Every structure is written in C-alpha cells, then in structure tokens.
C-alpha cells in the first residue's frame, strides 16, 4: 500500500489525556467529512476543522511505498528519550489509510501508537491508545476506546449522548475560532456541572508550537 502523508513532525501532544508528552505526529492526507477546500466548508459534515490535511507537501510529507518506509521516516523524527517513543496518527482521518502492516512496522520501531479519529470507521486492531472525536451529523462507529474528546459546543452533539459509550476518559475541548474565549468559559462551566467530563485546552496553540 502507498500511504499519502501530509506531514511528519516532532512536537508534544497539546491536548487531551497525553498533554505535554513528547510525540511524533504522523498526519495523513484526506478526510471523509470535509474535502479540506474552503469552497466546500459550508456544506461539509465537519465545518470547524482548523487543520491543513490536503496534499503531501508538508514537512516530512510525501508518498510512502510501504509500511517499513513510513515507519522508518517516523523514527527519524523522534526527538524524545530512548524509552517509550510515542507516535500520534492523525489527519484528516487516519483510519482511511492506517492498516495492520503499518501498525506492526511502527511497533517494530519501538513506538507506542495513539490515534485521533472521528470515529466514523472502525479503528484497526493493535492501536495502543484510541482517541475518538465525534462530529455532529456523522455516524459514530467506534464507540469504545481510551479517550472521547468532544469539541464543544456543537449543535446536535450533546455531551450527555456520549456518556454511555465505553471510554475511560471524557474530555470537552472548546471550539476554536473567534468565539474561543466564550466557548472556553462554557466548557469549564459544563465540566464543573458534569464531573465526568474534563476540559481539554489546546496547549500547543498557547505555546506557539505545531
């Protein structure tokens, strides 16, 4: 399989349970809820995405001919310590491309593998940490995992609707944009009133890192 990758880069996880952990981000090109083109945003299922996942022209991006080649590229970007290398598979929507051979190849390179997915497709077996970020109006197929991270507020995505699903951690993340300050206040208020939910603040944006 040829993998189409927007970018690979070393950073720290900026949100959710693993905030602050050294990581390599492996961002796959393409998504099933938005084309990534601004002309299509108004009619997309997910209209608030703030990520560029179009093409393969980002740092470290490109076409990778097989899982071993891609896993080796990810390893070259690891800048943390020698123990417990950590890779985050993201997008776009990574489950459109991630498969068992790639998971095996990343494990052979020593990585703990996390995935950030919209949950519209089943996550392949072998992923070590599953983070699902549901989107209003999209079917939720992946209803179990380690972390459910809901961007808030979303019309048609009441947090209470997700509490029965089999996740260990539940996070609310303020929707970015011109009203982010109000959304942050509303997120904190909701979490205080509903202690099952914890706030997830996008630390990397405050720190000015990718």
Per-residue pLDDT of 101-138, as tens digits, reads 999 999 999 999 999 999 999 999 999 999 999 999 99
Residue found by looking up tokens 């949950």 in the block: 119
Q: Hey, which residues does 160 pair with through a beta bridge? A: none
DSSP-derived pairing of the beta strands 86-90 and 22-28: parallel
Q: Where are the domains of the chain?
A: 3-151
Q: Which residue has the tokens 């997830």?
A: 200
Q: Which residue has the tokens 């179990």?
A: 144
Query: DSSP letters along 50-72, please?
Result: ----SSS-STT-EEESSHHHHHH
d(CA 133, CA 50): 14
Where residue 205 falls among pLDDT bands split at 50, 70, 90?
A: confident
d(CA 208, CA 210): 7
Active site residues: 25, 31, 46, 49-51, 116, 204
CATH code for the part of the protein at 3-151: 3.20.20.70
pLDDT band at 204 (very low <50, low <70, confident <90, very high): confident
pTM of the model: 0.95
In this predicted model, what pLDDT tens digit does every residue of 58-112 receive, in sequence order? 999 999 999 999 999 999 999 988 889 999 999 999 999 999 999 999 999 999 9
């Amino acid at each position: 399989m040829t993998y189409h990758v927007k970018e690979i880069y070393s950073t720290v996880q900026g949100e959710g349970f693993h905030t602050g952990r050294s990581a390599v981000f492996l961002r796959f090109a393409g998504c099933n809820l938005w084309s990534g083109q601004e002309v299509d945003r108004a009619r997309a299922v997910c209209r608030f995405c703030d990520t560029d996942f179009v093409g393969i022209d980002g740092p470290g991006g490109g076409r990778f001919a097989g899982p071993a080649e891609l896993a080796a590229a990810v390893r070259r970007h690891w800048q943390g310590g020698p123990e417990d290398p950590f890779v985050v598979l993201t997008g776009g929507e990574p489950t459109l491309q991630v498969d068992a051979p790639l998971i095996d190849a990343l494990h052979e390179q020593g990585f703990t593998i996390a995935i950030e997915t919209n949950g519209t497709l089943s996550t392949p077996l072998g992923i070590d940490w599953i983070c699902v970020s549901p989107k209003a109006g999209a079917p939720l197929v992946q209803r179990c995992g380690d972390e459910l991270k809901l961007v808030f507020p979303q019309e048609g995505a009441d947090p209470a609707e997700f509490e029965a699903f089999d996740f260990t951690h539940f996070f609310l993340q303020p929707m970015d944009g011109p009203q982010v300050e109000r959304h942050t206040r509303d997120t904190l208020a909701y979490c205080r009133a509903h202690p099952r939910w914890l706030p997830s603040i996008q630390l990397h944006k405050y720190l000015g890192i990718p």
